[in-house]
C-alpha cells in the first residue's frame, strides 16, 4: 500500500486490518445486549486477541451507548497496545460531534460515517437525491477530519448500488479525507463473485483509490458472510469487518473466527497476514456467549462444542493414527484444551487458576476466590469435573458479579403429595430479600417467588433444559427467554440442581432486561 495511513502507517500489501464490530453491529441484534462492564470486558479481550480496530458503539444512539464508547476510550483506549477505537455516525454533524466527544480520551481513534448509496435506500429511506448524498458525504467526512485523522466512510447497501454512482461517492469521500472506504453487503444479498467484482470495479474506476484502505462488511442472510469476505480480499479489500460468533442484525455478520482461521489454514490460497492470537478465539467466543446469554450452536465452525469432535469410529481411528486425516487445524490452535477431564476435589487453587487461564478467563483474586469456592462445592457433588463444568460455573457466578439481581439460595419442596413450594433468597441492589411461593411445579413456584421479590411484567417465551456433560450427576444448563414490550432476552444458568439452574437462568434474563430498559433504540440505526 503506497499511502501512509494515520493509524497504521505504511502497510504490507497482504496485511489485513481486522475490524471488530461485535460491540456495535453485533450488540444491535435482537435479544443481544451488554451492560457497560460487559462491554469493557469484551473490549479488553478483543484487544488481547489482537484486533486492529474495535467499533465500540454508536455514540449518539443513547446515553448508554455514549457512555460505553467513552468509557472504553478511557480504559482500553489508554493501553499501550490499544486498537483503534471507532464510533459509528450517520452523515450529519450531530452524530459526528457526539462520536468525537465520546472518543476524545482514546489514544487511537476513528470516526466511522455511514450513508446509503443504493437507489432503493436513497429514495425510500433517506429521501435524498444522489447529489445530496455526495454532498452530505463530503461535508460529513470533512467535519470528521477536524476531530480525527482516521475517518472511515461506509456506503450502506453498496452491493445493490449503481457502480458508477458508487465510484463517484468513493472518490468524493477520499478527496474529502476518508482514509478507509467500506463497501458493505448490508442486506446479505451478494454472492462471492459479486463481491470480488465490486472491489475490482471500484479500484478501476476511482482514480484516488490508493489513498484509502478498502474494507468489506458482510451480513449472513444467505449464509455467505464469510465467503463474501474472502472473495472481497481477492478483489482488493484489505480490511475485514466481522463479529465474534458471527452475531449481528438478522442472520448476523461474517464471523471473525471463521475468517481468521480460513486465512490461516489456507495460506496457500490466501497469503494474508494479521495480528490475531488465534488461541484466544475460543475464550472470546465463550465470554461473548456468557455476557449475551446466547450459546453458539454445537456445530458452529471453530468454536462450537462439536467443531473438533469425531463421532464415527472410522474418523476416530484415523485421528488417533494421524490427526491430520480428519483435522484441518488443531483444536489447540483456536484455544481448545487437549484434555477435557480436568480437576477433582483435591485440586488446589493454583491448578484451578491455571485451568481458567487455559480456558481463556482472566479474573481477579476476589473473583477467583468465589469461583474456587463454587468449584469445591461442585467437586463434592460431582465425581469428575470437566472443562465444560468449569466454564459453566465461572460464567454463571463470577462473570455476573456486577449484576443488580443476584441469586443467594433456594429451597424447594415438591412431590406428588404436597403442593410444590419454593423459598428464595435474592440480593437486589445489594439488599438481601426473601420470599416464598407455591406453584404448579417447583419451577413455577420458584419463578413466582422471583416475581414476588422483583415484580415485573415480562412473559416467559422459552424454557429449556439440557445437560452440560454426561451422567446423572451432570450439571443442568437451563435457558430462559423473557419478552417485555417486544424486547427479547435470553438468560442461562447452570447447577447440578435443575431448579437452581432454572432460577439462575431466570435471574440472568431479568438482569439483561434491566440493561435493555436503560437503553433506547435510535430512530434509524444502520444494520
Residues that bind Zn ion (CB under 5 A): 25, 527
| Nearest distance from C-beta of residue 224 to ligand KIV, angstroms | 14
Which one among 29, 140, 161, 186 touches ligand KIV, defined by CB under 6 A?
Answer: 186
- The residue (of 82 and 220) whose beta carbon lies closer to ligand KIV is 220
- The residue (of 5 and 217) whose beta carbon lies closer to Zn ion is 217
Which one among 156, 196, 257, 397 touches ligand KIV, defined by CB under 6 A?
Answer: 156
Contact (CB, 8 A) for 427 and 408: yes
- The residue (of 143 and 394) whose beta carbon lies closer to ligand KIV is 143
Could you tell me which stretch among 179-187, 256-264, 365-373, 395-403 binds ligand KIV (CB under 6 A)? Answer: 179-187
Q: Verify binding: residue 367, ligand KIV, rule CB under 6 A.
A: no
How many residues line the site for ligand KIV (CB under 6 A)?
12
Binding flags for ligand KIV, 105-144, as an x/- string (CB under 6 A)? ---------x------------------------------
Question: What is the sign, positive or negative, of the torsion defined by CA atoms of 207, 213, 217, 222?
Answer: positive
**Going along 213-349, which residue ranges are E strands?**
213-218, 239-242, 341-343
Q: Verify binding: residue 180, ligand KIV, rule CB under 6 A.
A: no
Instruction: Select the binding partner of residue 23 from Zn ion, ligand KIV, none (C-beta < 5 to 8 A, by kind).
Output: none
**Which 61-100 positions form the footprint of ligand KIV (CB under 6 A)?**
88
Instruction: Select the binding partner of residue 182 from ligand KIV, Zn ion, none (C-beta < 5 to 8 A, by kind).
Output: ligand KIV
Distance in angstroms (rounded) separating the CA atoms of residues 285 and 129: 42
What Cα–Cα distance (Å) separates residue 274 from each residue in 14, 32, 51, 184, 213?
Answer: 9, 28, 8, 21, 15
Instruction: Select the binding partner of residue 154 from Zn ion, ligand KIV, none (C-beta < 5 to 8 A, by kind).
Output: ligand KIV
| Nearest distance from C-beta of residue 518 to Zn ion, angstroms | 23
Which residues is 131 bridged to in the sheet? none
| Nearest distance from C-beta of residue 305 to Zn ion, angstroms | 27
DSSP per-residue letters across 359-424: TT----HHHHHHHHHHHHHHHHH-S-EEHHHHHHHHHHTGGGTT-SEEEEEEEEE-SSSS--EEEE
Q: Verify binding: residue 150, ligand KIV, rule CB under 6 A.
A: no
- Look up residue 42 and give its three cell numbers: 469484551
Could you tell me which stretch among 37-45, 181-189, 267-275, 466-474 binds ligand KIV (CB under 6 A)? Answer: 181-189
Instruction: Select the binding partner of residue 448 from ligand KIV, Zn ion, none (C-beta < 5 to 8 A, by kind).
Output: none
| Nearest distance from C-beta of residue 41 to Zn ion, angstroms | 23
Instruction: Select the binding partner of residue 422 from ligand KIV, Zn ion, none (C-beta < 5 to 8 A, by kind).
Output: none
Which residues is 201 bridged to in the sheet? none
Q: Which helix (H) or strand (E) holds 59?
A: none
Q: Verify binding: residue 508, ligand KIV, rule CB under 6 A.
A: no
- The residue (of 496 and 527) whose beta carbon lies closer to ligand KIV is 527
**Residues 303-338, buried b or exposed e (16+ Cβ, 10 A)?**
bbeebbebeeeeeeebeeeeeeeeeebebeebbbee
Which one among 8, 16, 17, 25 touches ligand KIV, defined by CB under 6 A?
Answer: 25
Per DSSP bridges, beta strands 53-57 and 17-20 are parallel
Instruction: Select the binding partner of residue 114 from ligand KIV, Zn ion, none (C-beta < 5 to 8 A, by kind).
Output: ligand KIV
Could you tell me which stretch among 182-190, 353-361, 383-391, 430-438 binds ligand KIV (CB under 6 A)? Answer: 182-190
- The residue (of 288 and 393) whose beta carbon lies closer to Zn ion is 288
Distance in angstroms between the alpha carbons of the first and the last residue of the chain:
30
| Nearest distance from C-beta of residue 219 to ligand KIV, angstroms | 6
Per DSSP bridges, beta strands 239-242 and 17-20 are parallel
- The residue (of 25 and 194) whose beta carbon lies closer to Zn ion is 25
The rounded Cα 520 to chain-centroid distance in angstroms is: 20
Q: Verify binding: residue 217, ligand KIV, rule CB under 6 A.
A: yes
Tell me the Ramachandran region of residue 526: left when phi exceeds 0, alpha when psi lies from -120 to 50, beta otherwise: beta
Distance in angstroms (rounded) separating the CA atoms of residues 115 and 139: 12
Neighbours of 405 (CB within 10 A): 19
Compute φ and ψ for 180, nearest 5 degrees. -135, 135
Helix-, strand-, coil-residue percentages of the chain, each rounded to 5: 45, 20, 35
| Nearest distance from C-beta of residue 38 to Zn ion, angstroms | 21
Closest CA to 453 of 501, 514, 397, 405: 405
| Nearest distance from C-beta of residue 175 to ligand KIV, angstroms | 21
| Nearest distance from C-beta of residue 109 to ligand KIV, angstroms | 17
- The residue (of 20 and 156) whose beta carbon lies closer to ligand KIV is 156
Closest CA to 152 of 74, 99, 205: 99
Q: Verify binding: residue 182, ligand KIV, rule CB under 6 A.
A: yes
Which residues in this chain contact ligand KIV in the complex, by CB under 6 A? 25, 88, 114, 154, 156, 182, 184, 186, 217, 219, 526-527
Amino acid at each position: 500500500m503506497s499511502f501512509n495511513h494515520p493509524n497504521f502507517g505504511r502497510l504490507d500489501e497482504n496485511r489485513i486490518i481486522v475490524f471488530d464490530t461485535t460491540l456495535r453491529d453485533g450488540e444491535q441484534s435482537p435479544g443481544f445486549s451488554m451492560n457497560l462492564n460487559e462491554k469493557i470486558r469484551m473490549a479488553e479481550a478483543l484487544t488481547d486477541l489482537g484486533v486492529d480496530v474495535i467499533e465500540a458503539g454508536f455514540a449518539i444512539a443513547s446515553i448508554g451507548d455514549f457512555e460505553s464508547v467513552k468509557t472504553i476510550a478511557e480504559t482500553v483506549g489508554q493501553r499501550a497496545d490499544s486498537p483503534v477505537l471507532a464510533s459509528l455516525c450517520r452523515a450529519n454533524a450531530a452524530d459526528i460531534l457526539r462520536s468525537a466527544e465520546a472518543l476524545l480520551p482514546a489514544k487511537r481513534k476513528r470516526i466511522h460515517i455511514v450513508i446509503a448509496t443504493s437507489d432503493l435506500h436513497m429514495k425510500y429511506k433517506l429521501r435524498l437525491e444522489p447529489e445530496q448524498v455526495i454532498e452530505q458525504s463530503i461535508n460529513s467526512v470533512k467535519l470528521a477530519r477536524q476531530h480525527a485523522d482516521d475517518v472511515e466512510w461506509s456506503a450502506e447497501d453498496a452491493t445493490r448500488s449503481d457502480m458508477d454512482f458508487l465510484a463517484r461517492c468513493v472518490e468524493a469521500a477520499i478527496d474529502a479525507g476518508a482514509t478507509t472506504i467500506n463497501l458493505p453487503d448490508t442486506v446479505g444479498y451478494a454472492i462471492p463473485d459479486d463481491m470480488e467484482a465490486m472491489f475490482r470495479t471500484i479500484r478501476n474506476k476511482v482514480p484516488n483509490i490508493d489513498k484509502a484502505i478498502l474494507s468489506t462488511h458482510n451480513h449472513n442472510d444467505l449464509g455467505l458472510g464469510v465467503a463474501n469476505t474472502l472473495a472481497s480480499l481477492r478483489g482488493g479489500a484489505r480490511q475485514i469487518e466481522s463479529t465474534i460468533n458471527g452475531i449481528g442484525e438478522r442472520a448476523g455478520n461474517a464471523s471473525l473466527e471463521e475468517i481468521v482461521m480460513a486465512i490461516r489454514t489456507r495460506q496457500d490460497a490466501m497469503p494474508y497476514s494479521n495480528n490475531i492470537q488465534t488461541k484466544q478465539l475460543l475464550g472470546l467466543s465463550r465470554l461473548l456467549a456468557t455476557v449475551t446469554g446466547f450459546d453458539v450452536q454445537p456445530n458452529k465452525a471453530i468454536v462450537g462444542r462439536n467443531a473438533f469432535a469425531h463421532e464415527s469410529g472410522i474418523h476416530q481411528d484415523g485421528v488417533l493414527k494421524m490427526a491430520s486425516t480428519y483435522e484441518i487445524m488443531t483444536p489447540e490452535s483456536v484455544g481448545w484444551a487437549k484434555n477435557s477431564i480436568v480437576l477433582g476435589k483435591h485440586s488446589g487453587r493454583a491448578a484451578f487458576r491455571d485451568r481458567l487461564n487455559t480456558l481463556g478467563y482472566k479474573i481477579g483474586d476476589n473473583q477467583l476466590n468465589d469461583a474456587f469456592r463454587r468449584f469445591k462445592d461442585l467437586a463434592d457433588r460431582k465425581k469428575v469435573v470437566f472443562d465444560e463444568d468449569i466454564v459453566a460455573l465461572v460464567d454463571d457466578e463470577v462473570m455476573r458479579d456486577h449484576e443488580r439481581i443476584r441469586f443467594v439460595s433456594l429451597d424447594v419442596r415438591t412431590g406428588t403429595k404436597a403442593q410444590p413450594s419454593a423459598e428464595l433468597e435474592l440480593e437486589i441492589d445489594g439488599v438481601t430479600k426473601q420470599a416464598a411461593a407455591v406453584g404448579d411445579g417447583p419451577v413455577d413456584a420458584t419463578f413466582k417467588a422471583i416475581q414476588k421479590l422483583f415484580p415485573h411484567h415480562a412473559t416467559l417465551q422459552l424454557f429449556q433444559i439440557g445437560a452440560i456433560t454426561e451422567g446423572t450427576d451432570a450439571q443442568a444448563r437451563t435457558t430462559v427467554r423473557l419478552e417485555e414490550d417486544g424486547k427479547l432476552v435470553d438468560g442461562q444458568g447452570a447447577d447440578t440442581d435443575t431448579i437452581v439452574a432454572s432460577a439462575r437462568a431466570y435471574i440472568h434474563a431479568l438482569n439483561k432486561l434491566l440493561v435493555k430498559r436503560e437503553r433506547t433504540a435510535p430512530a434509524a440505526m444502520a444494520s
